[in-house]
């Protein structure tokens, strides 16, 4: 797949056509006064109690690198939809506006602005499609991953989902979003050079099947592999394979070699983990861990933890990378103000709250979130403001935190969740307060 | 986001770590005999009666371009997991095997091999992750799109889903997969230079809101826009806006300007389409069409068609691009034969059928699919073989069809579906016959 300009995922043509035709109309009408757009989620699906904001780093990268080169302008000229003065304007186009946003890893809720763009109308408009594409997806996955993290009670979680992720970018961004939410790492190799994320690997059933015997496969791998040795034991008979692992570990020990873990990918994982645990406890040397995988959901993980199933780690694939129970969230990027006047949509079921807004969060004595208030920027309230300056006049205000710091922040944020929001099943919902300064403006707009 | 080697979506590091560690073990053990892997779907979710094979062009692109350059080798060396002789082997690595596959746009069913790779074991193994990532996603979306196409009864369908697609590649591949399945085009601009797909656009609510009046917004757009003019009429009062459109069309007509359609994005789309249709019929000149959007599913489209709602076209977003009712399908890429011996997995619930296989399809007198038989390649049956040679020794057998020809093929394929499989609701399921040559081999393996 080759694209004009090479790196097609960063292409300015990765947008909806109407953004560009509206831009030409704004250009023709001289409509370049300041606009304020906000990105927010409208509501949560039944299996989400909160969200984890994510994707800001990719958004900043997009906004600060957004340019139209000759190949892209040629594509647009070829459509016949755009006139030369507008194409010349696009050639000079860059994002010169402000971005305020919740830092990645922040716990957030519906109706709260997660990101606010303040820029000349054409700039704020054009970036809509990719902004939604990035912030929606990474927030979707980080929020899903956080549910696994809360359920797993400190067991190791690894992203195994590349194969069912929706394409290449979904695979690497899911690795990133799940890592920042608390996963230990990913199987997707490319996530290491792209984002500095730890990578993990075991072996496939085909590796076992390609050998004439399972024990021969185990031994070859254990002798040759330079990292932690994880042997897949469910290809034929899981318990028999576990006994072979004990025998192999005994033999290898004399040579100073160790088996780190076994992986079970099918069958009754609770029962098998218990019987395999008993078998493995006979092995000499360091304890051999049990790692499980195979279509696991956060409900499965919570069930194993509650039952005390002896599982040390989980490989999570499809349910994470495709967020299968809720593969899309209801979110929007809406014009709130233009040329100094509040703006709003009144479409049935999709009405919006106008004005430029901030979220103030108050914590209880136990450090947990007590109240969030969405208010106008001009009407500050008690508490910690959640949106912080990220870009001013198109330039970064400071350096964005690296992925390790985002991950620490997210862990700290999860600790501020009211206990009833930390359960896999919904036990309560958190209502965000809309300040009367906002509702008053909505009545007027 | 920058990656070693530049175009990160084509990177050989876009794979699961275990592929590379298994490869090193195969390298150390001299295991490079011929392996046969097949890609197939295990079962269908309740809302799919059939699948449309898609993604082959991207797979061929991946297989024929797969190389490890110095930046990628440096990343691998840096992990400490790989030794120098293996890295030197990777430097020479290329895919030298055979690929047989169903052409894109083919109707297919569970248990049928969609693609078969025959190659030295390490090559056939390494490509697994990206092969699954590409074929799963494009087949997922083409299959979903085909449901809209069957429901829409020749109304125009346009992909509006980029913002909720899972990242950049999902957006452009969803545009491609839905177009080949019969959509008229997409709003995603980049799909035009990448794939030659027609692009469509209307306007956003923010465009209307940024103007001081709706009619002013309509008029500016209609006067300045060089393509088909589609006016969004549901920002404030849909019927009032429709009357303004009639008034505007009347005025513009004298100047030789026309309004092509209106778009309604919220409210009771059936009732509004009917009342707006009546209003628009008063406009002079060419009939103004009605285009609707807003969270539409194929069930919605089928309902509108059954009710005779006067809708000319649909913009389909989230339900298509994220395949929200079934965001992942159960599929696998499994070793079927190695070094001349059939191989199979016997894991509970995941057992596979060994051997290299072909699918033969027979049609009834009405041209509709009557029977599919999955049999060993060595045991041909009556009917048309569905898998055709695509690569031989790593080189293309012929030119792949362009997207227009794939789209024609898919339309012809949809016409071969038994009528009971063309409904949005499941009325029957299609059982694929497994030839006894396959079951016999499974008993022996």
Structure tokens at A369: 């979130």
Superfamily of domain B202-286: Aldolase class I (3.20.20.70)
CA B134 – CA B114 distance, rounded (Å): 13
As a three-state string, the secondary structure of B185-249 is: EECECCHHHHHCCCECCCCCHHHHHHCCCHHHHHHHHHHHCCCCCEEECCCCCHHHHHHHHHHHH
Name the residue facing B4 among A79, A193, A324 (closest C-beta).
A193
pLDDT per position as a tens digit, A354-374: 899 999 999 999 999 999 999
Count of Cβ atoms closer than 10 Å to residue A377 Cβ: 17
Query: Which residues of chain B from 47 to 66 reach within 8 Å of chain A, CB to CB?
Result: 58, 61
Q: How many CA atoms lie within 13 A of B309 on its CB side?
A: 24
Q: What does the pLDDT look like over B123-170, one tens digit per residue?
A: 999 999 999 999 999 999 999 999 999 999 999 999 999 999 999 999
Please answer whether residues B52 and B139 qualify as being in contact, where contact means their C-beta atoms are separated by less than 8 angstroms.
Answer: yes
How many residues in total does chain A contain? 445
Longest dimension (CA), chain B: 81
CB hemisphere CA count around B347 (13 angstroms): 23
What's the CATH code, domain A8-142+328-444?
3.20.140.10
**B84 Cβ under 8 Å from any chain A Cβ:** no
Q: Give chain B's length.
A: 445
Residue A445: pLDDT over 80: no
pLDDT of residue B376: 97
Domain ranges within chain B, ordered by starting residue: 8-142+326-444, 202-286
B442 touches chain A (CB under 8 A): no
Strand, coil or helix: what is B350? coil
Q: Is the pTM of this model over 0.95?
A: yes
CATH class of B8-142+326-444: alpha beta
B20 touches chain A (CB under 8 A): yes
Residue of B nearest to A205 (CA): B345
Output the pLDDT for position A443: 85
* Interchain CB distance below 8 Å, A170 and B166: yes
Q: What is the largest CA-CA distance in chain A?
A: 81
> What's the half-sphere exposure (Cβ side, CA atoms, 13 Å) at B409?
18
Mean pLDDT of A379-395: 97
CB B102, CB B411: distance < 8 Å: no
Q: What's phi and psi for A303, nearest 5 deg?
A: -65, -45
Interchain CB distance below 8 Å, A129 and B162:
yes
Write down the ipTM of this complex. Answer: 0.96
Q: Crossing angle of helices B70-79/B84-92, nearest 10°?
A: 150
Low-confidence ranges of chain B (pLDDT < 70): 1-6, 347-351
What Å distances lie between residue A240 and A235, B326, B443, CA to CA?
11, 37, 21
Strand-pair partners of B198:
none
Distance CA A382, CA A375 (A): 11
Q: Phi first, then psi: give them for residue B68, nearest 5 degrees.
A: -100, 115
Categorize the per-residue pLDDT at A427 as very low, low, confident or very high, splitting at 50, 70 and 90. Answer: confident
Beta carbons within 8 Å of A394's beta carbon, 6+ residues apart = A63, A64, A94, A95, A96, A97
Express each pLDDT in A319-342 by its tens digit.
999 999 999 999 999 999 999 999
Q: Report pLDDT for A347.
A: 67
Statement: residue A410 has pLDDT above 60:
yes
Per-residue pLDDT, A348: 64
Q: How confident is the model at residue A5 (pLDDT cuts 50, 70, 90)?
A: very low
- Does pLDDT of A14 surpass 60? yes
Q: Quick one: pLDDT at residue A283?
A: 86
Residue with tokens 């699906």: A45
Mean pLDDT score of chain A: 95
User: What mean pLDDT is predicted for residues A221-243?
Assistant: 96
Q: Are A192 and A182 in contact (CB under 8 A)?
A: no
CA distance A59 to A14: 13
pLDDT cut 90: percent of chain A above it: 92
Determine contact: B45 vs chain A, CB below 8 A: no
> What's the rounded Cα separation, in Å, for the pair B274 and B279?
9
Q: In terms of CA atoms, which chain A residue is nearest residue B124? A: A206
Q: What are A147's two structure tokens? A: 């549910």
In the predicted model, is pLDDT for residue A223 greater than 70?
A: yes
pLDDT at A2 over 70: no
CATH class for the region spanning A152-321: alpha beta
Phi then psi dihedrals of residue B74, to 5 deg: -65, -40
| Residue from B40, B127, B210, B329 whose CB has the most chain A CBs within 10 Å, to mutate | B210
Residue B111 neighbours by CB under 8 Å, 6+ apart: B40, B41, B42, B353, B374, B432, B434
Q: What H or E segment, with its residue span, contains residue A391? A: strand A388-392
| CB nearest A189 (choices: B20, B136, B193) | B20
Residues of chain B numbered 193-252 and touching chain A (CB < 8 Å): 193-194, 199-207, 209-211, 220-221, 224-227, 234-236
- Given this chain, do its domains A8-142+328-444 and A152-321 carry the same CATH topology? no
Alpha helix (H) ranges present in A254-308? 269-280, 298-307
Q: What is the pLDDT of residue A442?
A: 87
Per-residue pLDDT, B2: 45
pLDDT computed for residue A284 by the predictor: 82
CA distances from A334 to A127, B306, B378 (A): 12, 34, 61
Q: Which of A3, A172, A343 faces B209 most closely, judged by CB atoms?
A: A343
* Cβ contact, residue pair A189, B15, below 8 Å: yes
Q: How many CA atoms lie within 13 A of A177 on its CB side?
A: 37
């Amino acid at each position: 797949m080759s694209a004009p300009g090479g790196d097609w995922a960063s292409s300015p043509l990765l947008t909806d056509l109407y953004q560009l035709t509206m831009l030409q109309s704004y250009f023709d009408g001289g409509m370049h006064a300041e606009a304020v757009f906000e990105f927010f989620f409208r509501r949560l699906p039944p299996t989400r109690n909160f969200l984890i904001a994510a994707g800001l780093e990719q958004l900043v990268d997009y906004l600060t690198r957004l340019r139209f080169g000759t190949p892209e302008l040629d594509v647009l000229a070829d459509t016949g939809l755009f006139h030369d003065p507008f194409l010349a304007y696009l050639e000079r186009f860059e994002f010169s506006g402000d971005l305020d946003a919740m830092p990645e890893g922040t716990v957030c809720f519906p109706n709260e602005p997660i990101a606010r763009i303040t820029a000349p109308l054409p700039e704020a408009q054009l970036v809509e499609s990719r902004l939604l594409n990035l912030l929606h997806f990474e927030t979707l996955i980080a929020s899903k991953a956080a549910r696994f993290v809360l359920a797993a009670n400190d067991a190791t979680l690894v992203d195994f989902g590349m194969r069912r992720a929706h394409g290449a970018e979904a695979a690497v961004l899911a690795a990133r979003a799940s890592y920042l939410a608390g996963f230990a790492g990913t199987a997707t190799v490319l996530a290491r050079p792209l984002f500095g994320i730890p990578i993990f690997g075991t072996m496939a059933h085909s590796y076992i099947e390609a050998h004439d015997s399972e024990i021969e496969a185990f031994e070859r791998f254990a002798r040759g592999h330079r990292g932690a040795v994880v042997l897949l034991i469910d290809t034929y008979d899981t318990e028999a394979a576990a006994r072979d692992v004990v025998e192999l570990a005994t033999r290898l020990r004399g040579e100073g070699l160790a088996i780190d873990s076994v992986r079970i990918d099918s069958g009754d994982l609770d029962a098998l983990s218990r019987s395999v645990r008993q078998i493995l406890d006979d092995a000499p040397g360091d304890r051999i861990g049990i790692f499980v995988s195979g279509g696991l959901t956060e409900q499965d993980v919570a069930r194993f933890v509650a039952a005390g199933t002896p599982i040390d780690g989980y490989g999570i694939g499809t349910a994470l990378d495709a967020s299968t129970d809720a593969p899309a969230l209801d979110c929007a990027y809406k014009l709130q103000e233009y040329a100094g006047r509040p703006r709003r949509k009144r479409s049935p079921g999709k009405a919006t709250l106008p004005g430029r807004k901030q979220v103030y969060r108050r914590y209880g004595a136990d450090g947990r979130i007590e109240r969030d208030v969405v208010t106008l920027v001009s009407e500050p309230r008690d508490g910690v403001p959640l949106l912080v300056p990220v870009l001013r006049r198109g330039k970064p205000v400071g350096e964005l935190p690296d992925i390790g710091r985002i991950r620490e922040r997210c862990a700290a944020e999860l600790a501020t969740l009211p206990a009833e929001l930390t359960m896999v099943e919904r036990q309560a919902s958190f209502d965000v307060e809309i300040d009367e300064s906002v509702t008053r403006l909505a009545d007027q707009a």
